[in-house]
Amino acid sequence: MISRRRFIKGVVGTAAAFVTHSAAAVTPPPPNIIFILADDIGYGDVGWYGAQKVKTPNIDRIGREGIKFTDAHSTASVCTPTRYSIMTGEYAWRNPDGDHILSGVDPCAIDPAKPTIASVMKQAHYVTGLVGKWHLGLGTKENPVDYNSEISLGPADLGFDYCFYYPATNDRVPCVYIENRRVVGLDPADPIRVSYGDKVGDDPTGADHPEMLKMKADPSHSKTIVNGISRIGYMSGGKSARWVDEDMADTLTTKAVQFIEQNRREPFFLYFSPHDIHEPMAPNPRFKGTSECGARGDAIHELDWCVGQILDAVDRFARNTIVIFTSDNGGAIKNTYDDGTNSLHALQPPNGPLRGDKGGLYEGGHRVPFLARFHAPVEKWNKSSQLIGLVDLMATCAAVPGHKLPDNAGPDSFNALPALEGNDTPVRDHLVLQQNGHARLAIRQAQWKYIEPAKQQKNAAAAAVPGELYDLSNDLAESKNVAAENPDLVARMAGLLEQARSGPRTRP
């Protein structure tokens, strides 16, 4: 059993030590919250989870000074649906607009009338900030995003007081930053055009001009070249606004640190979403060659540096702060780009002992590192085997200042704060897991994991694939499907999944 300690009491106690007491007691402010969501970091990519070929001292520090979760899940095994569930506290498979990977021109997947984690924290009197990756769409179907004018609908309309972000992924156009509602550094005389269909403008593409590339790319990533790297989609214009990949970590981290410093006198919620280690992996030259596994390992080192800068800023400006680190899905060894070090990438197994990787329903697709830290000193680090999902962030963050979650908010979000405090009482009874789009789902309950049968397969043999059942208590690698030996349990798990799917919510 893990040792029990009062998580919030420790944080508030640190703040209270700086309060001058008079005759009347002064209530210390609630803790700030910094939520760091890495991109494509696997369960095995962090030292605290067993990584051997990379060093992550700053990320490890969060767990060493706080708590490490071993059964945390990204609720989807790809980025957009996970980010949708974090923002809304709702399973993304409930919303066809947010259940799949979006492009850089897709409309915003979040209804502006829906509560978000940012709007909920604003109601709790927090200043709210977003720095980094967005990837939840912009504009509406009726009024598509125009990168040459004010951005609407976007994060600034969904509860964030301050936003500095890039629209989609670093391998997708447009390759620009947006601050609040405007593209940063855009020359009006050089307007941006973006297309995911027909080519726009006369910018060279990777397919036509491979000699211009810093790294090779597969056909789907061989459209417009920006900064010597070809992307998904076509872009023209906006040359003065385009990012330099090697500088992205510095740019985003600087903005995050500035937000912490500028808002240190009042409670704040910061959603910091670095681009690392999503492809193309182009870390700053000062990180190149620092790992034993090529650009992928070097990008992990760059990410760890970003986390260290955030922790240093907390120590300087905002000691009364909860810091959470996790990832939007499992890791993967991919060959969509060839940076010249691809043969070394797999020396660091991204998901450790887990089966599968990003995009799948096996544990490697969605079981992620999850570390939570506060400034108050602890006697020793804690470890929790509690089942939690990133969909739980909304209810958990709202609970920090004691804010009651509105009934129409976070229909699938459970308060995991007791688990962060070291409490063994289960946070949730079950958790539904998703791939991408309308693919099949899985469900966890206790040690059992059920993956529903394959659907809409191209041939009868594939369509006949039955459901899968694994006992993760003695088979974390999911090496033995025990569905055939447990028909009653399969029926119960399938019924529980159908109940979650057919109902409007799972939160009581």
Residues 244-270 pLDDT 10s:
999 999 999 999 999 999 999 999 999
Selected residue with higher pLDDT from 439 and 162: 162
Q: Is the pLDDT of residue 60 over 80?
A: yes
At residue 424 the predicted structure's pLDDT band, cuts being 50, 70 and 90, is confident
At residue 374 the predicted structure's pLDDT band, cuts being 50, 70 and 90, is confident
CA distance 98 to 75: 13
Mean pLDDT for the stretch of residues 26-37: 92
**Looking at residue 5, what is its pLDDT?**
45
CB 260 within 8 A of CB 318: yes
Q: Which residues have CB under 8 Å from 124's CB, separation 6+?
A: 30, 267, 398, 401, 403
At residue 23 the predicted structure's pLDDT band, cuts being 50, 70 and 90, is very low
- Which residue segments constitute the domains of the chain, with CATH numbers given? 7-17+29-192+237-424 (3.40.720.10), 197-235 (no CATH), 440-502 (3.30.1120.10)
**Looking at residue 368, what is its pLDDT?**
98
Q: Is the pLDDT of residue 22 over 70?
A: no
Rounded to the nearest integer, the mean pLDDT of the chain is: 93
At residue 321 the predicted structure's pLDDT band, cuts being 50, 70 and 90, is very high
**Looking at residue 376, what is its pLDDT?**
63
CA distance 179 to 184: 6
At residue 375 the predicted structure's pLDDT band, cuts being 50, 70 and 90, is low
**Looking at residue 306, what is its pLDDT?**
98
Selected residue with higher pLDDT from 315 and 465: 315
**Looking at residue 2, what is its pLDDT?**
40
Q: Is the pLDDT of residue 413 over 70?
A: yes
Residue 268's Cα: distance from chain center in Å?
19
Mean pLDDT for the stretch of residues 73-99: 97
For residue 40, give Cα distances in angstroms to 18, 174, 357. Answer: 39, 20, 10
Buried b / exposed e along 288-313 (16+ C-beta atoms within 10 A): beebebbbbbbbbbbbbbbbbbbbeb
Give CA torsion, residues 109, 113, 114, 120, to 10 deg.
Answer: 120
